[in-house]
Amino acid sequence: MRTVMREQFRQSRAGEIAIRWYLTILLVIAGTLFAADRARGQDDGAKLFETRCYSCHNIGGGDKQGPDLKGVTERQSREWIEEFVKSPSAMRSKDPVAAELFKRFSPTIMPDQTLSPSELDSIISLIKNLTSKNETFVPSGAKLSRAIVPADIVAGKELFAGEIRLANGAPSCNSCHSVNGIGALGGGTLGPDLTAVNIKYRDPELISILQAPNFPTMNTIFTNHKLTDEEVVQLFAYLQNAKQLNPTAAVVPTQAAATTDPGFLILGFAAATLVLVGLNIFWRKRSHGVRKEMVRRSRI
Amino acid sequence: MDVRLQISMVFHLDKCIGCHTCSIACKNVWTDRKGAEYMWWNNVETKPGTGYPTKWEDQSKYNGGWEKQENGKPELKMGNRASKLINIFHNPSLPKMDDYYEPFTYKYEDLFDSPEGADQPTARPISMVTGKFMDIEAGPNWDDDLGGSPVYGENDPNFKGLTPEEQQELFDVERLVFFYLPRICNHCLNPACVAACPSGAIYKRGEDGIVLINQEVCRGWRMCVTACPYKKTYYNWSTGKSEKCILCFPRLETGQAPACFHSCVGRIRYLGGILYDADRLVDALKVDDDKLVEAHRDIILDPRDPVVREKAKENGIDERTLEACERSPVYRYVKEWKMALPLHSEFRTLPMLFYVPPLLPVMAKTDDGVYETANEELFSPIEKARLPIKYLASLFSAGNTGQVSYALKKQYAVRLFKRLETVGDVTKEVVEHALAECGMDAAEAEAVYRLTSLPTMDERVVIPPMHREEAMAMLDDDMWEQKGSAGFGFREAPVRGA
């Protein structure tokens, strides 16, 4: 990790404040790295909340993609919370409170979470603690490693489109996501369109997602292939800018749209037909059988 | 001079009775296996006709054989290496199964097992490929053997040079004419199948020129099926590999004639060794179509020539093999007498199976409704033959009528010569004129007669001693290592995907 950091240090343009930043980055990375371990070992609720919940929830800061969790422990039993967190969709059909929540935050659906009982306990104790003190949760890690410069927007776009590979081997963003105006055919449709993502999430939330995405699909990929701090800065800069370039774009819910774009399907069929027609033209002189044709002609 | 040995063949078409015994002998020995049912390594075609597979001679459809390029060098008609690579997963010029025919048998058990009823039970035809009931639409040599329509005769590709009137005459009542053309692999000197194989599975045996497909190397690309202009390599759909006539080499190696030669009822088949100059092979292919037969004949060497014998020995050809070449009936028919001609030499594969063209029977004519067989001369002159010379030339000399006329005139002269001797109703002058016309003396006429009419098995089939041990030594491999590591060969049955 230190070698990687040194690499990035050399690439950093802010030379004069490099050492200070270097230390900060080191601390942030170390913090994030240790977060998981410490959460498992020492039940550090704050770190857990930041990496696993903060992108959609807050404590005391008001509703985000999901409801404010302040006082949730007073409203619901621990069993209810545990069951809900394990599979929100399953709760929806059997619990009226859950159904009401889904309705309120529609169309966003909370993904299933994999939290151990001790992890859940530490998060619950954090919520209880902050609720009783009437404090708002303040994330400690969700900060950019350096200030954004205009060049980051271009670099972020290149990262998003896969023109530059992500350093730790993760697939580029546009394999699953799209942003208006990227690529001839747009990006992937597995994940939501990210054009208006900076309206949907506030800055620290977006940064926290970039640092450690906690969506089931992304989680499995990015746990072992984290974005580097530099990439986080560049992608953040690009996504923040994307909305300004496309002011009319709508906010797309977190869950991927279930239906496929019919235009793309038609394009696929058209391309396949074109290929078949092309092959037919290329091999137009192929043998179609000699005898049958000869006999047929003789009978005329 | 690079002297090499080729086991070569002559089929005397004037003697072929079209009994297909050769085909059956071959089928029973080699191709009565699953996947090989439709193959006829030896087949007999009725000419005029379209043959097997249908219209195989029409290379505008099958793209077989070689084409002379502007620089004189031959190029496969199916295309160069690049186009072969592009088409490797889709070979566009393959004959369809229907062009061969769908192999069939009959459900004979119905004849025995059917319950008693008002009607006789019948044995319905079953496809040997799918096992289902089928309607028989075609077979090899369909019209003459089973079909009976004029469709196949009329579509003979060799009619190209004939006027519609000439074509029509061939099918007139009292003029109708046909002859038989038995075909096996020609074991060519310039085999297109070998050149086309992407796997390098086909090879021409150095010691005797037999062209073989290595079943362990073949990958079933079927480029050879397209490349062979005679369509004599076949794809086995069961093993996934291609197969072809092997000239019964296991029989040859033990001094026996190949099965089709052995069983030939009309005794039309001759086999013997021929020496040729491999150095001049490329030059022989540079000539124009009408000179191909001559160029082909030119590279065949005289086994009695001391220089040739010397060079042959340098190439490891044994003395006893040379002795066998001296007695080769093929050398006499092809080189000495110039009576045997290669089939479709315009395909430029230099086929080593030669045909003595048929001298067809007396021409009758109808005069005011009177059927008249008498002629001014005893035998009708070849210019008035039922089959136009042009037609035969299209088959046997790439359009050069001179070569075919010469071969026919020679047969004609020999007949007159013997007629004078045995019956005596022709004048000596006529016979002498006929002999002189083709530069033949009485001794040669007698020799042609003897080898044509009275040959023994040993005169017809002169197999050079195979000397397998010496053939092995001719290879670059270390003979002793070969001996120690050859094992029993492959013993498992060739299975698809194995």
> Which tokens in the block code for residue A96?
């009226």
> B177 in contact with A at a CB cutoff of 8 Å?
no
Q: Does residue B336 have a pLDDT over 80? A: yes
**Cα distance from B136 to chain A (closest Cα, Å)?**
13
Distance CA B493, CA B498 (A): 9
Among A285, A289, A298, the residue with its CB nearest the CB of B98 is: A289
pLDDT at A280: 92
Q: Which residue of B has its CA nearest to A298?
A: B151
Question: pLDDT band at residue A247, thresholds of 50, 70 and 90?
Answer: confident
- Cα of B163 vs its chain's centroid, Å: 27
Residue with tokens 């005329």: A300
B96 touches chain A (CB under 8 A): yes
Instruction: Give contacts of B98 with chain A, Cβ < 8 Å.
Output: 289, 291-292
Strands B300-301 and B66-68, sheet pairing: unpaired
The closest alpha carbon to B357, from B310, B394, B307, B311, belongs to B394
**Of the candidates A286, A294, A299, which has its C-beta nearest B54's C-beta?**
A294
Q: What is the DSSP letter of B95?
A: P
Q: What CA–CA distance (Å, rounded) separates B316 from B207?
A: 9
- Average pLDDT on B162-174 reads 81
- Interchain CB distance below 8 Å, B53 and A291: yes
DSSP assignment letter at B364 = P
pLDDT of amino acid A218:
87
Angle between helices A117-133 and A18-42 (to 10 degrees): 110
Mutate to test the interface with B, among A287, A298, A300 (most CBs of B within 10 A): A287
Structure tokens at B30: 């080699």
Whether residue A129 has pLDDT greater than 90: no
- Residue B31: phi and psi, rounded to 5, are -120, 30
Nearest CA in chain B to A296: B151
CB contact under 8 Å between A285 and B92, yes or no, is yes
Rounded to the nearest angstrom, the minimum Cα separation between B94 and chain A is: 7
Q: Which residue has the higher pLDDT, B486 or B428?
A: B428
Give φ, ψ of A22 to 5 degrees. Answer: -55, -45
CB–CB contact A294 B50 (8 Å): yes
- When pLDDT is cut at 50, 70 and 90, the band that residue A4 belongs to is very low
Q: Is the pLDDT at B475 greater than 90, yes or no?
A: no
pLDDT at A39 over 50: no
Q: With b meaning 16 or more CB within 10 Å and e meaning fewer, what string describes B385-417? A: bbbbbbbbbbbbbbbbbebbbbbbbbbbbbbbb
End-to-end alpha-carbon separation of chain A, Å?
A: 82
Which of B61, B138, B149 comes nearest A287 by C-beta? B61
pLDDT of residue B432: 93
Longest Cα–Cα distance in chain A = 100
B61 or B375, higher pLDDT: B61
Q: Is the peptide bond before B381 cis (omega within 30 degrees of 0)?
A: no
Per-state percent for chain A, helix, strand, coil, to nearest 5 = 55, 0, 45
**Closest alpha carbon within chain A to B150:** A298
Instruction: Quote the pTM value.
Output: 0.70
DSSP secondary structure string, B259-314? HHHHH-SS--EEEEEEEEEGGGHHHHTTS-GGGHHHHHHHTEE-TT-HHHHHHHHH
Nearest CA distance, B438 vs chain A (angstrom): 41
- DSSP string over B207-256: TT--EEE-TTT-----HHHHH-TT--EEEETTTTEEEE--TTHHHHTTT-
Query: Can you give the residue ranges of every domain in chain A?
Result: 43-133, 143-245, 262-299
Q: Are A23 and A10 in contact (CB under 8 A)?
A: no
Q: Break chain B down into helix, strand, coil percent, rounded to 5.
A: 40, 15, 45
Position with higher pLDDT, B368 vs A171: A171
Average pLDDT, chain A: 79
Q: Considering only alpha carbons, which residue of chain A is nearest residue B142?
A: A291
Residue B489 pLDDT > 60: no
A298 CB neighbours in chain B (<8 A) are: 149, 151, 154-155
Nearest residue of A to residue B137 by CA position? A292
Residue of chain B nearest A288, judged by CA positions: B96
Summarised one tens digit per residue, pLDDT across range A130-179 is 888 888 887 777 788 888 888 999 999 999 998 999 999 999 998 888 88
DSSP string, B390-443: HHHHHHHSTT-HHHHHHHHHHHHHHHHHHHHHHT--S-HHHHHHHHHHTT--HH
CB contact under 8 Å between B99 and A291, yes or no, is yes
CB atoms A298 and B155 under 8 Å? yes
- Domain range B271-462, CATH class: alpha beta
Can you name the residues that pair with B233 across neighbouring β-strands? B244
**Nearest-CA distance from A296 to chain B in Å?**
10
Residues of A in contact with B54 (CB under 8 A): 290-291, 294
Q: Which of A220, A217, A215, A233 is nearest to A167 (CA)?
A: A233
Quote the CA–CA distance of B75 and B67 in Å, as a whole number. 5
pLDDT band at A278 (very low <50, low <70, confident <90, very high): very high
What class, spelled out in words, does domain A143-245 have in CATH?
mainly alpha
Its sign, for the CA torsion A88, A94, A97, A101, is positive
The mean predicted confidence, pLDDT, of chain B is: 89
The bridge status of strand B125-127 relative to strand B341-342 is: unpaired
Report whether pLDDT(A298) > 90: no
**Per-residue confidence (pLDDT) for residue A256, from 0 to 100:** 47
Cβ burial of A284 (10 Å; 0-12, 13-18, 19+) is: exposed
Q: Do the chains contact at B92 and A295, CB–CB below 8 Å? A: no
Q: In the prediction, which pLDDT does B464 show?
A: 92
What would the two tokens of residue B118 be? 């008002």
Q: Which of B257, B274, B259, B188 is nearest to B227 (CA)?
A: B188
Residue to mutate among A275, A284, A291, A295, with most B CBs inside 10 A, is A291
Cβ contact B155–A287 (<8 Å) = no
Per the rule left: phi > 0, alpha: psi between -120 and 50, beta: everything else, B424 is left
Q: Would you state the pLDDT for residue A40?
A: 46
Structure tokens at B443: 């001794």
Nearest to B92 among A287, A294, A299 (CB): A287
pLDDT average, residue stretch B376-401 = 82
In this complex, do B95 and A283 lie within 8 Å of one another by their Cβ atoms? no
Residue B397's alpha-carbon distances to B72, B347, B408, B428, in angstroms, are: 19, 11, 13, 32
B187: CB partners within 8 A, 6+ apart: B6, B7, B8, B9, B204, B209, B210, B211, B245, B247, B351, B352, B353
Q: CA–CA separation, A242 vs A159, rounded Å? A: 14
Res B376: pLDDT? 60
Token pair 């000869």: residue:
A294
Q: Report the distance separating Cα B61 and Cα B63, nearest Å.
A: 6
B62 touches chain A (CB under 8 A): yes
Percentage with pLDDT > 90 across chain A:
15
Asked if residue B165 has pLDDT above 50, the reply is yes
Average pLDDT over residues B441-461: 95
Q: For residue B354, what is the enclosing H or E element?
A: strand B353-356
Asked if the model's pLDDT at residue B87 lies above 60, the reply is yes
Residue from A294, A297, A298, A300 whose CB has the most chain B CBs within 10 Å, to mutate? A294
Lowest mean pLDDT among B14-28, B161-175, B181-195: B161-175
For residue B378, give the nearest of B436, B333, B423, B328 by alpha carbon.
B423
Task: Read off the pLDDT of residues A184-229 as tens digits, 9 standing for 90 and up.
Answer: 777 888 888 888 888 888 888 888 889 888 887 888 888 889 899 9
Q: Containing H/E element for B45?
A: strand B43-47
Res A139: pLDDT: 77
Residue listed under structure tokens 């060799």? B158
Taking CA–CA distances from B101, the nearest residue in chain A reads: A291
| Residue B192 and residue B64 in contact, taking contact as beta carbons nearer than 8 Å | yes
SS3 (DSSP) at B142: helix
- Indicate if the pLDDT at residue B57 is higher than 90: yes
Instruction: With a cut of 60, say whether residue B167 has pLDDT above it.
Output: yes
The fold of A43-133 is Cytochrome Bc1 Complex; Chain D, domain 2 (1.10.760)
What pLDDT was estimated at residue A262? 80
% of chain B surpassing 90 pLDDT: 71
Name the CATH architecture for the domain at B12-252: 2-Layer Sandwich (3.30)
Residue B357: Cβ-neighbour burial (10 angstroms; 0-12, 13-18, 19+): buried
DSSP secondary structure letter of residue A212: S
- Contacts of residue B95 in chain A, CB cutoff 8 Å? 287, 290
Best mutation target among B96, B137, B149 (most A Cβ atoms within 10 Å) is B96
Cβ(B311)–Cβ(B3) below 8 Å: yes
Residue B471 pLDDT > 90, yes or no?
no
What pLDDT does B498 receive? 45
CA distance B141 to chain A (A): 12
pLDDT of residue A42: 40
Q: Which residues of B touch A290 (CB under 8 A)?
A: 53-55, 58, 61-62, 95-96, 99
Quote the crossing angle between the two packed helices A203-211 and A229-245, to the nearest 10°.
130
Inspect the interface and report whether the beta carbons of B154 and A283 lie closer than 8 Å. Answer: no
Phi-psi label, residue B100: left if phi above 0, alpha if psi -120 to 50, beta otherwise: alpha
- Cβ B138–A291 below 8 Å, yes or no? yes
- Chain B residues with beta carbon closer than 8 angstroms to that of A292: 98
Residue among B191, B162, B398, B157 nearest B288 (CA): B398
**How many interchain CB pairs under 8 A, A with B?**
46
Domain A143-245 in the same topology as domain A43-133: yes
Task: Name the residue in chain A with its Cα closest to that of B155.
Answer: A294
As a whole number of angstroms, the distance between CA B117 and CA B482 comes to: 67
For B92, name the nearest residue in chain A, comparing CA atoms only.
Answer: A286
What is the rounded CA–CA span in Å between residue A233 and residue A255?
A: 25
Average pLDDT over residues B269-287: 95
Q: Is B88 on the interface with A (CB under 8 A)?
A: no
- Mutation for testing the B interface, residue in A276, A295, A299 having most B CBs under 10 Å: A295
Which residues of chain B does CATH 3.30.70.20 include? 12-252
Residue B447 has pLDDT above 90, yes or no: yes
Q: Which stretch of A76-85, B11-20, B198-207 has the lowest confidence by average pLDDT?
A: A76-85
The predicted structure's pLDDT at residue A9: 43
Confidence of residue B487 (pLDDT cuts 50, 70, 90): low
Task: Answer yes or no: do A283 and B62 touch at CB < 8 A.
Answer: no
